[in-house]
Amino acid sequence: MSKQGSNKASAAIQASLKKRYARERRFQWYGRMAVLIGFVFLFILLADIVSKGLPAFTQQYIRVSVNLDPAMTGLQPGASQEQIYGADYLGAIKSSLREMFPEASSRNDKKALYRLLSIGAEYTLRDKVLEDPGLIGHTTEIWLRAHAEAGSYLKGQVSADTPESDRKVKDQQMAWLDQLRAQGRTESRFNTTFFTQGDSREPEMAGIKVALYGSFFTLLVTFAIAFPIGVSAAVYLEEFAPRNRLTDLIEININNLAAVPSIVFGLLGLAVFINFFELPRSAPVVGGIVLSLMTLPTIIITSRAAIQAVSPSIRQAALGVGASKLQTVVHHVLPVAMPGILTGSIIGMAQALGESAPLLMIGMVAFIMDPPAGITDPATVLPVQIYLWADSPERGFTEKTSAAIMVLMGFLILMNGLAVYLRRHFERK
């Protein structure tokens, strides 16, 4: 009977095994799916941004022959620097456009025609004349920046199939642009403007220079404050702090600050540094202080881990030959822990570079065209510039936003790569 019973049981087990193995396989597939979903999200995110942002690195130019006739610009050969500066180049450009396309006669047609070129075209021409005053009175061929909308047609982003009312580039403009292209009067170049200009209302003239400068100055302040203070705090807590209530309080505070939402640091900056201490708004110095308070916990926690990892034998050896506690730490423990501390600091800096919410609070959202000269000049930073451009509905700005994101991500990858390199390089020794 017992044999029969155990046979029965083993039959039941055999029968259930198939089910259990199937469940096991299913479970493994759930796991693979979860990892895959993460990969797919990452891929879509990156692909979306790169595909949107790549076209922003090229800028379309249109070659126009401009007649710098004295009758048109009011400039005589031998004009002074000041006269050249104040002359009417827009008129000259407009008249040469009309000459090229005489069929544009109505007011609206002319307006559409002028919109082929960037609003900044007249300044390009002015700069060229300033450089070479000999051009005055002659007809000259010059490459001028295309308007963002015309440029996007030339890049092939606008399809003629969409109804005319749904696109910014009208049929007439498309015909003109096709004609220009057939004559070899259009050209696509690397977009240097994007790196050499500040913000602008026109997508084709907007650049990230101010944001890059602002991010640099802000990070400089952040590092100058957060690194020394963070390392000192870590040294104190690891090497000197007595075990008492006060030390516990400090540790609890550091752990909690690491999880406080970044926007709350922005409120602190607004209430304390801007309203109470009356530091300048929109300035990298305030941004840097706020971000350093935000990154301090990260730096302290990673530095403590690095100091903890230093072998006690090094400490004991130094103390044994008569070094004081502080000498032991400064001369022996810190140099060994430095790669780990630097890794943590770089990660903290990368976090600060990508942060924007607290900076919105302290007014780093201004429209700024000129790069800051120091830490007290108004500036904006790369992530905030991205936020500002993301609000603009024009296609040109969507493109610029994605391109700025690519630059930002490039810096972040560089910083994290450096951190990983440091860790690997010094781990081997």
- The answer for 282, left when phi > 0, alpha when psi is -120 to 50, beta otherwise, is left
Q: Which of 24, 99, 171, 248 binds another protein (CB under 8 A)?
A: 24
Q: Is there binding between residue 249 and another protein (CB under 8 A)?
A: yes
Half-sphere exposure of 371 (CA within 13 A, CB side): 16
CB of 78 to another protein, least distance (A): 38
CB of 281 to another protein, least distance (A): 9
CB of 74 to another protein, least distance (A): 32
Q: Is there binding between residue 80 and another protein (CB under 8 A)?
A: no
Longest distance between any two alpha carbons in the chain, whole Å: 122
Q: Which stretch binds another protein (CB under 8 A): 42-50, 78-86, 132-140, 210-218?
A: 42-50
CB of 317 to another protein, least distance (A): 19
Q: Could you tell me the two tokens for 185?
A: 């009067």
Q: Could you tell me the two tokens for 194?
A: 């994007």
Q: Which of 191, 328, 380, 398 binds another protein (CB under 8 A)?
A: 398
In a 3-state reduction of DSSP, which class is residue 206?
coil
Return the residue matching tokens 């990858």: 413
User: Cα dist. 278→272, 281, 358, 377, 417 in Å?
Assistant: 8, 8, 17, 14, 38
Site mask for another protein (CB under 8 A), range 117-156, x = bound: ----------------------------------------
Proportion of the chain in helix, strand, coil states, percent, rounded to 5: 70, 5, 25
Q: Which of 250, 314, 336, 369 binds another protein (CB under 8 A)?
A: 250
Q: Which of 84, 383, 396, 407 binds another protein (CB under 8 A)?
A: 383
Contact (CB, 8 A) for 130 and 107:
no
CB of 33 to another protein, least distance (A): 7
Q: Could you tell me the two tokens for 143?
A: 């490459």
Closest by CA to 189, choosing from 61, 12, 65, 279, is 61
Q: Which stretch binds another protein (CB under 8 A): 106-114, 178-186, 198-206, 384-392?
A: 384-392
Q: Which of 9, 11, 37, 160 binds another protein (CB under 8 A)?
A: 37
Q: Which stretch binds another protein (CB under 8 A): 94-102, 107-115, 196-204, 400-408?
A: 400-408
Burial of 349 (C-beta count, 10 Å sphere; 0-12/13-18/19+): buried
**Subset of residues 273 to 312 that bind another protein, contact rule: CB under 8 A:** 275-278, 293, 296-297, 300
**Given the complex with another protein, which of 81 and 244 has the nearer CB atom?**
244
